[in-house]
Amino acid sequence: GSRGHRNFWPLDYDVMTDYAKSIVEGVSPTAEEIGMKDKMLRRISTICDELVPGSRIIPFGSLVSGFATKGADMDVIFAHDTVDPQPSSLESNIPVRLASEFLKRGFEVDLLIKTRVPILKLKTPTKETPSRPGSPLTEHSLQGEAVVEEEPWPENVSCDIGFKAHLGITNSHFFRTYSHCDPRFREMVLFIKVSLISSSSSSSSANGRQQWSKNRDLNSPYFGTLSSYGYVLMVAHFLINIVQPPVLPNLQLIPPPADTPVSELTQDGYNIWYFKDLSKIKSGDLLPNGKNEMSLGQLIHEFFQYYTTNFNFVSECVTIRTPGGVMYKQQKGWTSARERVGEMNNTYQDRYLLALEDPFEISHNVGRTCGGGGVRRIRGEMHRAAAIIRKISTPLLNEPAPVGS
């Protein structure tokens, strides 16, 4: 059959590379959207500061890392010195108070408490949702009236407010630095996020995230698959540790200079050091084996091949910081599911079906949200994607060789 030809016929990745680049361009947010979100952050920050004087809103996630697609959610952390993790009453519960405040302003509001730390999910009002309070939460916990906004909010923008995930800020800046090392990192993340996945239909639609989650349901940590952050780890691992020569240096393995302030070395008891000097990073000196010249299309293909044929999901754990990049679940003690008590006395499941070690909080499995079905579907889609790329990159399958030339 045709099985063996892959070993002899070099693939031509031009078509795939052009396709991937067009997808990336189509899903990248415009300067206008970025400006609109900056402004929204400032308004949200003001509201929070009025409610809890001295509080700050710190952005993180894809807005900071640069991995945002059009219409991406905003991730922020509400920072305040005196957030009480176990509030004595509803009134002193800051997440609940903020929820009420944004309800009054007509936002759609959802307070998640099943997560490791509470998350307040906000969505700006649309023309269809009248800006009137009406939810039970408002009636029970607030005497206040609806706030009349001086200026309408941009419609349909989501913002997640976290209350304690401070390493998220650090890891977003960490990946921002990595994304400045080589443009192919961001391109791969965006492509994989939006279209591994929806190979044919409207891949360049305004909201790539929706397609991923709705059509394929592979980006729903709350429902058994992987967070975007998890996919970022998978791509980083591949570019730092697997592809040869590496596309990215390992910034965590470069020793810190002697005068590095402690704040750059540890946070919450975790080692957070990574090399940040962009001018040195860009000079290429950190890649002793020379620059990787593979096209975007080839890298994407090899990424899918690696995770469908080389990486052993059963026994191995993806890491970024470790030389070589692979550890065994056994080494980490990540072998059987267990229940843990979270910050708010809630319990959550630690699962190890897909093991992705966080680069800083190394006891945290970013893949823990994946159930068995989730892992199977993710692998299935990657398999499918690899097959499609092979097909469109095999010259003989695309156009017959010219006769008589």
Nearer to ligand CTP, 192 or 366 (CB): 366
Only segment of 8-16, 44-52, 61-69, 300-308 that touches ligand CTP (CB under 6 A): 61-69
Min dist CB 336 to ligand CTP, Å, is: 20
Burial group, residue 310, by CB count within 10 angstroms (0-12, 13-18, 19+): exposed
Is residue 67 involved in binding ligand CTP (CB under 6 A)?
yes
Min dist CB 172 to ligand CTP, Å, is: 4
Is residue 237 involved in binding ligand CTP (CB under 6 A)?
no
Tokens 């429902």 correspond to 223
Tokens of 270: 């975790």
Q: Which helix (H) or strand (E) holds 267?
A: strand 266-267
Q: Tell me the site size for Mg ion, rule CB under 5 A.
A: 4
Residue 227 interface partner, choices ligand CTP, Mg ion, none, CB cut-off 5-8 Å depending on type:
ligand CTP
Residue 301 interface partner, choices Mg ion, ligand CTP, none, CB cut-off 5-8 Å depending on type:
none
Closest CA to 103 of 79, 121, 78: 121
125 and 40 Cβ atoms separated by less than 8 Å: no
Taking CB under 6 A as the criterion, the residue among 17, 124, 171, 252 binding ligand CTP is: 171
Q: Which helix (H) or strand (E) holds 177?
A: helix 166-181
**Residues in contact with Mg ion, shown as a per-residue x/- string from 65 to 84 under the rule CB under 5 A:** --------x-x---------
Min dist CB 158 to ligand CTP, Å, is: 9
Is residue 19 involved in binding ligand CTP (CB under 6 A)?
no
Min dist CB 106 to ligand CTP, Å, is: 23
Closest CA to 101 of 57, 170, 166, 47: 47
Sign of CA dihedral 243, 245, 248, 251: positive
Nearer to Mg ion, 59 or 325 (CB): 59
Only segment of 32-40, 225-233, 294-302, 326-334 that touches ligand CTP (CB under 6 A): 225-233
Q: Which helix (H) or strand (E) holds 270?
A: strand 270-271
Taking CB under 5 A as the criterion, the residue among 26, 29, 61, 230 binding Mg ion is: 61
Nearer to Mg ion, 68 or 296 (CB): 68
Q: How many residues does the chain have?
A: 405
3-state secondary structure of 112: strand
Taking CB under 6 A as the criterion, the residue among 94, 188, 353, 366 binding ligand CTP is: 366
Tokens of 62: 């894809």
d(CA 119, CA 290) in angstroms, rounded, equals 43
Residue 366 interface partner, choices Mg ion, ligand CTP, none, CB cut-off 5-8 Å depending on type:
ligand CTP
Only segment of 62-70, 89-97, 339-347, 397-405 that touches ligand CTP (CB under 6 A): 62-70
Burial group, residue 374, by CB count within 10 angstroms (0-12, 13-18, 19+): buried
Site for Mg ion in 73-132 (CB under 5 A): 73, 75
Q: What is the longest distance spanned by two Cα atoms in the chain?
A: 85
Q: What are the C-alpha distances in Å from 264 to residues 1, 60, 268, 273?
A: 56, 17, 12, 6
Is residue 72 involved in binding ligand CTP (CB under 6 A)?
yes
Site for ligand CTP in 21-60 (CB under 6 A): 60
Min dist CB 197 to Mg ion, Å, is: 17
φ and ψ of 391, to 5 deg? -65, -50
Site for ligand CTP in 104-123 (CB under 6 A): none
d(CA 63, CA 72) in angstroms, rounded, equals 8
Nearer to ligand CTP, 65 or 393 (CB): 65
Is residue 225 involved in binding ligand CTP (CB under 6 A)?
no
330: which residues sit within 8 A by CB, 6+ positions away? 315
261: which residues sit within 8 A by CB, 6+ positions away? none
Nearer to ligand CTP, 75 or 302 (CB): 75
Taking CB under 6 A as the criterion, the residue among 26, 29, 59, 61 binding ligand CTP is: 61
Residues that bind ligand CTP (CB under 6 A): 60-62, 65, 67-68, 72-73, 75, 165, 167-168, 171-172, 209, 227-229, 366
Residues that bind Mg ion (CB under 5 A): 61-62, 73, 75
